[in-house]
Amino acid sequence: MDLNKSNVYECWLNYKHLPHNFDDEYKRFCSYIVAKSNPPIINSALEELKFAFTRFMGRMPEVLDSYPDSDCILVGTLDDAADEALRVSRGDLPEDGFMVHKFERNGKNVLAVIGKNEKGALYGVFHLLRSMCCGKPLAQVQGIDGPRNPLRVINHWDNLSGDIERGYAGKSIFFKDNRIVSDLSRVKDYARLLASVGVNGVAINNVNVHQVETRLITDEFLPDVARIADVFRQYGIKLYLSINFAAPVEIGGLPTADPLDESVKKWWRDVADNIYKYIPDFGGFVVKADSEFRPGPFTYGRNHAEGANMLAEALKPHGGVVFWRAFVYNCQVDWRDRSVDRAKAAYENFKPLDGKFLDNVIVQIKNGPMDFQIREPVSPLFGAMEKTNVAVEFQITQEYTGQQKDLCYLVTMWKEVLDFDTYAKGQGSTVSKVVSGSLFRMEYGGVVGVSNIGDSKCWTGHPLAQANLYGFGRLGWNPELSAQEIAEEWVKLTFGHDKQVVDTIVSMLMASRDIYEKYTAPLGIGWMVNPGHHYGPNVDGYEYSHWGTYHYADWKGIGVDRTVATGTGFTAQYREPVASMYENIETCPDELLLFFHHVPYTHKLKSGKTVIQHIYDTHFEGAEEAEGLKEKWLTLKGKVDDEIFDMVLERLEMQIKNAIEWRDVVNTYFYRKTGIDDIHGRKIYK
Amino acid sequence: MDLNKSNVYECWLNYKHLPHNFDDEYKRFCSYIVAKSNPPIINSALEELKFAFTRFMGRMPEVLDSYPDSDCILVGTLDDAADEALRVSRGDLPEDGFMVHKFERNGKNVLAVIGKNEKGALYGVFHLLRSMCCGKPLAQVQGIDGPRNPLRVINHWDNLSGDIERGYAGKSIFFKDNRIVSDLSRVKDYARLLASVGVNGVAINNVNVHQVETRLITDEFLPDVARIADVFRQYGIKLYLSINFAAPVEIGGLPTADPLDESVKKWWRDVADNIYKYIPDFGGFVVKADSEFRPGPFTYGRNHAEGANMLAEALKPHGGVVFWRAFVYNCQVDWRDRSVDRAKAAYENFKPLDGKFLDNVIVQIKNGPMDFQIREPVSPLFGAMEKTNVAVEFQITQEYTGQQKDLCYLVTMWKEVLDFDTYAKGQGSTVSKVVSGSLFRMEYGGVVGVSNIGDSKCWTGHPLAQANLYGFGRLGWNPELSAQEIAEEWVKLTFGHDKQVVDTIVSMLMASRDIYEKYTAPLGIGWMVNPGHHYGPNVDGYEYSHWGTYHYADWKGIGVDRTVATGTGFTAQYREPVASMYENIETCPDELLLFFHHVPYTHKLKSGKTVIQHIYDTHFEGAEEAEGLKEKWLTLKGKVDDEIFDMVLERLEMQIKNAIEWRDVVNTYFYRKTGIDDIHGRKIYK
């Protein structure tokens, strides 16, 4: 128990901010903890309680294996609580769920946190501590809860060199100089953070599996991979590895990686068997195949189902799964060919395979049909896979959304995605129900998030970007939580209960996605970023590229016609009434107008503004509002931790600079192209 | 003597192609070589003769120290020829020059190659061999010759890692994995190539001197640097090093690198003294200071003269010189600020310092005011430095001119630069006379070329890019040679005398710069390349950047107004009548129109075409002509070395692809911006 870590490092688990109702509701329970057994995950729960209660009370609680003559906390599994009259049976608790229940025993109050299993108990403890710190009344904290999504997994795009692809928070906490780090204390702190928000899986290496990383599945690295798995296991988190589909050739000495070849199948079975010797609860593989120059089954004339199933068969005897990414598209497009539409690719590749995947394959689908832009429609593939396990992939790391220099609370966006109605089984067929498996009664499914952490002091580069990691977990646990609720929880846990602090930071978070959208690419068109690193404006940056990412702006108009009537026909991948809504320019929401339609700059939006005036207005507003974020933040000086205050302020200043650059480049670009003046006469550089 | 190297490796020194007049004119001299002394450089000359004559005759010639009873070649310095009645005195020969003279002795013919010094003899031998292979009549070969420029230096932008900045021909031949390579046989072959065209200096490391390279001037690396110097010395080539101006701080442990600080001066004196212990004929330093984030005297409130002179003082006692680059400009410009003009920077920085530099400092000026674009005006600084040694810096490596994928014979461009009249001392004050030192009677000066070679099998990536290395040397030796003459020499030496081969390749070379210009940035505006790597089109690639490189294209017009009347005033940096020629849109040459003027797309060029139609026409033509290069090359199948044929064909196919991409991106960009159709109705993608 290290009480000397900085606030910014401790994140939302600092336990330093007691709510007004603490003494009345909770204090009495914080001196004694009863645990009748102490297996590793329960032990993590007890460690957490001891740490928190020490912070709360200024002294260490006692942990006992029988009841004291005082009020106390009881922690354990259903088995541990068999003696108590809790009136709860195994069937009452959801998988990995828990019950919190207060009862009297010999005149003393016992607050019981009982898990269906060890993991449930750990989640229950984090639930209780979070509720205590947030000032939730004990009456509301009691009851049964469990995760809505079976799989809540973080994908790390960490390379063994220590570099992180699309990482904006320092180097890898797992890897350095092509080895696994020896000191795993930071990994343990990370596991705690993840478990506290319900994450139950982590893929530790980049989906782009390079030469060295291909060998992670061999005896050379597995002893060290197992050390990491041991740390995560204590927090109920399974370890996954991204694999190289061509590994049988590259490291196996086979002449082929054909998934239907018997020697290839055997090779992967042997690999899987060997991994499970080191890591008995190994989660499985994450696979990026036939995507952006990665090898895959196409090389051998096989399809994605054949590729995925071959791996799934190898893992099946051990209970492992395959996350097979649907991010498959032609990335060597000729920009001259307007008939090709990258947005259509995932659906076209995977819809025909629905029902062909084994039951331990999960197709991992990015939230939108393009690539993590600040505004995209939801991928139509979610409504199309009725007989396939699917998961939604969110990008917690802010590749296109400000790179943890700009504030962008992404939970609002993810919430929109999860709430999106696919109409796959009539109204109410939300993405949330698709990925949880409940809509189509699939066993596996859930949420996957691309990690935003590194070895930065605050984990996430921008301290306020911690809210995205927190929110990813919380939303994955319960997609019915609102973005606002999650923001409030996170702010209270991180910064405490001062109303001004809570209101200010929550309002900053809640406004941040809109602000970022305003000063970047307009009306759902996306891209317009500098190629390669993807930070900062470059309107034509991807316009003549092979990546399939175009805006088609000319002197008259802008946008991609994806209608069936006159365009690429992408809208037909949605079910009705969604397809018609997007197809029809009258009903297509403004914020996605340019994603679905090519319109003149003089086209009137539902707001009554022309497209060109909307571009000017939003860019002036966005930059102003970015400055407004700083002004709001400045009011918190002295009211939040000084170090965090300074770190955030530094980032907000970077954001303002970026926002002004975006404003001016975008406005100048469109002014130079159209010759149309801003009706308000604001400064546009000619 | 290795007779087994491939033709493409041997370049223009293969001695395999005998001209029609060989038997009559030269054969008789090729059996005996007389040399009265044999110091290292003379030895190199003798080795060259032996190698060539063995190739010519199929047997090794005899080298004697007295005359045989046969016709023979005599090689030596003036001292060696003191006995002969050559009627030439030391004063008759230019520095490093030579005389070729045939005389009779005891009824036998002696063809004497007599250098003013050893280097002169070596140059004379290469002159003779080149002339023999080119089929030049002996009568024309005789006479006196010498280099017009005192300094003819190659700058390598090689890093110790082995990577070459802006290198398109493989890795460094000097460095690998942060060490100097042990096997210097390739360096020797390179020295031969350079000496054959008169190069007398090589700076082996990148002007951007990074951490490891900073230590090249220390005992850690100097023994190995000296090994390279030893190889070059045998070919009359001095070794130079690029240095880090901040070295006294970074590796010297001093608190400052202030050039006026006594401890700093002493530090550099000690460094110089030490270098000369290892390399007695060390050439000196190349310095990129206060340029693109490199340290320099500005940090200490000192100017470039103070910085350069401090280093020059340290080298002076040993005869070394400082090449101080004039490539100094603000690279953190705000694109919104149209008053800043990068083109003005070198003049503004250096003109006020004219006369302030010590006499062993050479200010090294890029040929144009921007940065090695396919078309720029000549830097006005050449006409402005009357009391300063100057050298012109050409970029042999094709950073912006096709990266040795596209054919671009640069000698035509360099020739234009050298022939440009600065009017500094009235008409006829060409850049050539400025840099040779003759115009202002300066001691040092000459030509510097950024190397285009690496460890590629053909040295230069594109076999035909060898012509640029060859041409750089030849033009530096004698700027009065025409680009066509140089091309013819190179083709004959490399490929032989078949008329179709010579005519075809020479015509390809001679047309190549115009072709490249046609399909890339129009009318002198430059840039429009992909940022970073600089290959391929990106019209707005540098438009909103901090590098000071803009085209200002909007829906009405394009170009940078650099006039005094309405623009940045850059034209005033030229002397009359050049200043007025550029200032006045009527007299400004079309090919530089957009460099100097912002004009509407409908502006009529002297050709009668509008600017927009010119853009379309040149881009269609350029791409067609790139295809024409391939067609021409295909006619040579079986007539040139097969390996070279294939290598060039592969490159020409890359070029066609690149040219088409440029054509379509540029045409589409301007069509989308202007809405003006091609009057010929050719395909422009909308």
The answer to whether the CB atoms of B686 and A538 lie below 8 A apart is: no
**Is-contact B36 B150, C-beta < 8 A?**
no
**Is-contact B329 B347, C-beta < 8 A?**
no
Q: Which of A219, A292, A419, A480 is catalytic?
A: A292
The answer to whether the CB atoms of B685 and A544 lie below 8 A apart is: no
Q: Which of B10, B25, B224, B371 is catalytic?
A: B371
Is the pLDDT assigned to residue B84 strictly greater than 80?
A: no
Q: What is the CA radius of gyration of chain A?
A: 26
State CA A325 to chain mean position distance: 15
Q: Which of B80, B399, B517, B617 is catalytic?
A: B399
* C-alpha atoms less than 13 angstroms from C-alpha of A214 in its C-beta half-sphere: 15
pLDDT per residue over B570-626, tens digit each? 999 999 999 999 999 999 999 999 999 999 999 999 999 999 999 999 999 999 999
pLDDT band at B186 (very low <50, low <70, confident <90, very high): very high
The answer to whether the CB atoms of B685 and A539 lie below 8 A apart is: no
Distance from CA of B466 to the nearest CA of A (A): 32
pLDDT band at A151 (very low <50, low <70, confident <90, very high): very high
pLDDT for the residue numbered B551 = 98
Distance from CA of A609 to the nearest CA of B (A): 23
Strand partners, B35: B75
A399 labelled catalytic: yes
**Is-contact A422 A409, C-beta < 8 A?**
no
**Mean pLDDT estimate for chain B:** 97
| Mean pLDDT, residues B338-358 | 96
Backbone angles phi, psi at B381, to 5 degrees: -65, -25
Strand partners, A201: A153, A238
B399 labelled catalytic: yes
The candidate with the shortest Cα–Cα distance to A669, out of A595, A544, A558, is A558
Query: Which tokens in the block code for residue A644?
Result: 């965090």
Strands (E), B95-237: 98-105, 108-115, 143-145, 151-155, 175-176, 179-180, 201-203
The answer to whether the CB atoms of A336 and B685 lie below 8 A apart is: yes
pLDDT per residue over B547-582, tens digit each? 999 999 999 999 999 999 999 999 999 999 999 999
Q: Which of A338, A544, A665, A673 should be substituted to probe chain B, the one whose Cβ sees the most B Cβ atoms within 10 Å? A: A544
The answer to whether the CB atoms of A685 and B554 lie below 8 A apart is: no
The answer to whether the CB atoms of A686 and B537 lie below 8 A apart is: no
| Mean pLDDT, residues A489-506 | 98
pLDDT for the residue numbered A85 = 72
Strand partners, B517: none
Is the pLDDT assigned to residue A491 strictly greater than 70?
A: yes
| Mean pLDDT, residues B420-448 | 97
pLDDT for the residue numbered B82 = 79
pLDDT for the residue numbered B1 = 59
Write the CA distances from A602 to A207, A550, A560, A609, B672, integer angstroms. Answer: 43, 20, 16, 9, 16
The answer to whether the CB atoms of A554 and B673 lie below 8 A apart is: yes
Q: In this complex, is the C-beta atom of A668 within 8 Å of any C-beta atom belonging to chain B?
A: yes
A421 labelled catalytic: no
Is the pLDDT assigned to residue A4 strictly greater than 80?
A: no
Is the pLDDT assigned to residue B83 strictly greater than 90?
A: no
Write the CA distances from A286 to A153, A242, A646, B139, B635, integer angstroms. Answer: 11, 4, 38, 78, 53
- Which residues of chain B have a CB within 8 Å of the CB of A532? 532
**Stretch among B80-84, B115-119, B146-150 having the lowest mean pLDDT:** B80-84
Is the pLDDT assigned to residue B674 strictly greater than 70?
A: yes
| Mean pLDDT, residues B172-191 | 97
Helix A262-278 to helix A304-315 angle (10° resolution) is 40
pLDDT for the residue numbered B520 = 98
Q: In this complex, is the C-beta atom of A64 within 8 Å of any C-beta atom belonging to chain B?
A: no
pLDDT per residue over B21-69, tens digit each? 999 999 999 999 999 999 999 999 999 999 999 999 999 999 999 999 9
Q: Which residues of chain A from 509 to 568 reach within 8 Å of chain B, CB to CB?
A: 530-532, 537-540, 544, 553-556
pLDDT for the residue numbered B293 = 87
Backbone angles phi, psi at A252, to 5 degrees: -95, -10
**Mean pLDDT estimate for chain A:** 97
Query: Domain A7-145 is in which class?
Result: alpha beta
In chain A, which residue's Cα lies nearest the Cα of B553?
A672
- Which residues of chain B have a CB within 8 Å of the CB of A335? 685
Distance from CA of B659 to the nearest CA of A (A): 14
The answer to whether the CB atoms of B555 and A675 lie below 8 A apart is: yes
Smallest Cβ–Cβ distance between A555 and the set B532, B540, B675 belongs to: B675
The answer to whether the CB atoms of A555 and B673 lie below 8 A apart is: yes
pLDDT per residue over A30-78, tens digit each? 999 999 999 999 999 999 999 999 999 999 999 999 999 999 999 999 9
pLDDT per residue over B465-488, tens digit each? 999 999 999 999 999 999 999 999
pLDDT per residue over A216-263, tens digit each? 999 999 999 999 999 999 999 999 999 999 999 999 999 999 999 999
Look up the ipTM and state it: 0.89
- Which residues of chain B have a CB within 8 Å of the CB of A556? 675
Smallest Cβ–Cβ distance between B672 and the set A335, A532, A553 belongs to: A553
Smallest Cβ–Cβ distance between A673 and the set B335, B664, B673 belongs to: B673
Q: Which of A145, A371, A517, A561 is catalytic?
A: A371
pLDDT for the residue numbered B400 = 98
Write the CA distances from B340 to A669, B69, B343, B550, integer angstroms. Answer: 20, 73, 9, 11
- Which residues of chain A have a CB within 8 Å of the CB of B336? 664, 668, 685
pLDDT for the residue numbered B3 = 64
| Mean pLDDT, residues A586-607 | 98
pLDDT per residue over A440-450, tens digit each? 999 999 999 99
Strand partners, A529: A537
| Domain range list for chain A | 7-145, 151-482, 519-560+598-674
pLDDT per residue over A611-635, tens digit each? 999 999 999 999 999 999 999 999 9
Is the pLDDT assigned to residue B269 strictly greater than 90?
A: yes
Query: Domain B151-482 is in which class?
Result: alpha beta
Is the pLDDT assigned to residue B632 strictly greater than 70?
A: yes
The answer to whether the CB atoms of A671 and B336 lie below 8 A apart is: no
The answer to whether the CB atoms of A537 and B556 lie below 8 A apart is: no
The answer to whether the CB atoms of A675 and B553 lie below 8 A apart is: no
pLDDT for the residue numbered A3 = 64
pLDDT for the residue numbered B81 = 83
Strand partners, B113: B75, B100
- Which residues of chain B have a CB within 8 Å of the CB of A676? none
Smallest Cβ–Cβ distance between B539 and the set A540, A556, A671 belongs to: A540
Write the CA distances from B447 to A382, B204, B208, B365, B477, integer angstroms. Answer: 65, 16, 20, 10, 9
Question: A–B: how many Cβ contacts below 8 A?
Answer: 58
- What architecture is domain B519-560+598-674? Alpha-Beta Complex (3.90)
Characterize the bridge pairing of strands B599-600 and B557-558.
antiparallel
Q: In this complex, is the C-beta atom of A675 within 8 Å of any C-beta atom belonging to chain B?
A: yes
pLDDT per residue over A523-558, tens digit each? 999 999 999 999 999 999 999 999 999 999 999 999
